[in-house]
Amino acid sequence: MERTQIYLTKEQKIVLKTIAAQKHAPLAEVVREAVELYIAEQKPSATERINRARGLWKDRKDLDALAYESELRKELNKRLEGFEQ
């Protein structure tokens, strides 16, 4: 862990100290938990990542999407052949 200093409003510090007292935990632990939750909220969801990637290669002329998909399916089918019962 690394030590750091932050500035809180008086109200923020009071609320955090209250939470720490209720949890019987140090103030620093409560702050770390709050930071972790904030960081987790900032990460895009799987759906958001998919939506951002949609159309990423739409302007590429060097790719044949249907041929690429066909090759992927062939490869997958070959891999799955051994699992059929």
Domains in the chain: boundaries: 10-81
Phi-psi domain of 24 (left: phi exceeds 0; alpha: psi -120 through 50; beta: other)? left
Share of the chain above pLDDT 90, in %: 55
* pLDDT recorded at residue 62: 85
Q: What is the pLDDT of residue 54?
A: 87
Per-residue pLDDT tens listing for the chain (85 residues) = 999 999 999 999 999 999 999 999 999 999 999 999 999 988 888 888 888 888 887 888 888 888 889 999 999 998 898 776 5
Matching residue, tokens 């998909």? 69
First to last CA, the chain: 52
